[in-house]
Structure 1
Amino acid sequence: MSDMRLIVAGAGGRMGRALTRVISETSGAVLTGALEAPGSELLGKDAGTLAGLPANGVLLSADLWSLSANADGILDFTVPGATIANVAIAAQRGLVHVIGTTGLTASDDAVIKSVTSRAIVVKSGNMSLGVNLLAALVKRVAQSLDDGFDIEILEIHHRAKVDAPSGTAYMLGEAAAEGRKITLEAHAARGRDGHTGARRSGDIGFASLRGGTVTGDHSVIFAGPYERIELSHKAEDRMIFAHGAIKAALWARNQKPGMYSMTDVLGLGDF
């Protein structure tokens, strides 16, 4: 099979540059397009140069329709508005759409889901192997423990992160809720301040910290009577997300239209 031709959305950002570097190191993948927001001062710059590589002749463009004419997939770690704008074009062009964007709303998710009858989408709040194994463990532990064990999710990210809780924290909350056979929307406690009263039994709590250059640390705490279980993952470099995203794209190329997650990519569905 020929190399998979990939577009990197947000190619001028930190994740976009990491994706460009990993594509250059990955057998079976090639960078064919670099997408950036209209009006960006980086438009026209060489994607390889921006990523700290030799120039590769792929220049940053704001025109996804033109870029996608000769592409097989798009790696999208941008912002919700940009991702939703990319969804329709990716579906119309028949691209594999790997979505790592966080902060998407329920209505955004509905738009994404609406194209999956004819498009292949892999969407995850975190693309790393370790975090997806953590989510599988969280689900299993939540299945095994009753609501005498309170579930709290703690995350810390760099000072520039704009959404909270993180997409990864929310994904871990979803895993815990699935294990408990409840809905996260009805049981999430997202931020506490002032005189809140006692903790409500069955809640899944979230706490978000921001500071420095932290790539991303997540802990899920099961706090029971006189004992506590803590499951944690610490990301040391965003390259782990880039490697996972490209693995997802290469896997998805051979799938039928539908909505997939990293659980599917890694074969963790029966864990």
Structure 2
Amino acid sequence: MKRIILSGCNGKMGRVVSQAAAEREDCTIVAGFDINADRNESYPVYAEPESFDGEADAIIDFSHPAYFPKVLEFAAARRLPVVVATTGLSAEQREQLQQLAQTVPVFFSANMSLGVNLILDLCKKAAAVLSDSFDIEIVEMHHNQKIDAPSGTALMLADGISSVLPKTPQYVYDRHSRRQKREKNEIGIHSVRGGTIVGEHEVLFAGTDEVITIRHSASSKRIFATGAINAALFLTLQNPGLYDMSHLVSAIGG
């Protein structure tokens, strides 16, 4: 049984991960890290990662970019594999992930859902075929408590599409401020925040007289928790390096 540390354990996603892990027989959460050190589960919670002196096999991080450096420092010091599911990381923090991956296994994905990562592959295939004659727009919808916009998943989809286009597109987030017609070489990214929407992502390929839509809808945060736990178990078997959902999908499939 693998021993997991859960960073961000008292947040919304942390509580879902705790519940999902408690129902499994292949792993257990041995400690939690959170700026709010209240103990709400069976495991101890630490505001400062270095206060934990027990043994663990991997870390799952669903914290906040402001808390993230502490997790990174702890993972480096203990040489522990870390699954990073925190969104809104800066370019500098992403670079720090790259550096950490030289010494420990690191798993990073803007979205831990297997389904989202499958539609990413579909979007890339569609963009490679349709880019010459179709405009590409991305719409993401989340609950009214989500802080970052656009979502990390929307940017992941945009980056994936961009990687197969012949020319790097411009990302446009606010057409209200642009008093001009849509340029060909751009991807529009639109954010909606409301209610308790877990996560909706829609990619539109709009051509002449036809529209192709690729869409993913999440009805529960549990899919992200399951993906993160599976990623942690996968990571305990890997050498140092930077991994993402494509590696996990390949492991599952083959």
Normalising TM by the smaller chain, what interval? Answer: over 0.9
* Alignment gaps of 5+ in structure 2: none
CA distance in 1, matches of 2:53, 2:213: 44
The aligned length equals 252
CA distance in 2, matches of 1:77, 1:107: 18
Output one character per residue of 1:166-210: Cα deviation in whole Å (capped at 9) or x when no partner. 011111111111121544xx5211222144301111211100000
Residue 4 (structure 1) aligns with: 2
Please say if residues 10 and 40 of structure 2, whose CA atoms lie closer than 8 Å, have aligned partners that are also in contact. Answer: no
Please say if residues 72 and 94 of structure 1, whose CA atoms lie closer than 8 Å, have aligned partners that are also in contact. Answer: no
- State, as a whole percentage, how many aligned pairs show the same letter: 37
Residue 252 (structure 1) aligns with: 235
Residue 25 (structure 1) aligns with: 23
Output one character per residue of 1:71-120: Cα deviation in whole Å (capped at 9) or x when no partner. 11111111112123211211221111101111112111111111111011
Residue 36 (structure 1) aligns with: 34
Off by >6 Å, runs of 4+ in structure 1:
none
**Change beyond 3 A, Cα 1:222–1:68:** farther
2:40 equivalent to 1:46? yes
More off after superposition, 127-136 vs 68-77: 68-77
Alignment of 1:193-212 (within 5 A): 193-212=176-195
Residue 133 (structure 2) aligns with: 148
Q: Give the superposed CA RMSD.
A: 1.6
Partner amino acid, structure 1, of 2:148: D
* Alignment gaps of 5+ in structure 1: 48-55
Deviation at 1:66, TM superposition (A): 3.1
CA distance in 2, matches of 1:133, 1:162: 25
Partner amino acid, structure 1, of 2:62: F
Residue 191 (structure 1) aligns with: 174
Deviation at 1:10, TM superposition (A): 1.0
More off after superposition, 195-204 vs 215-224: 195-204
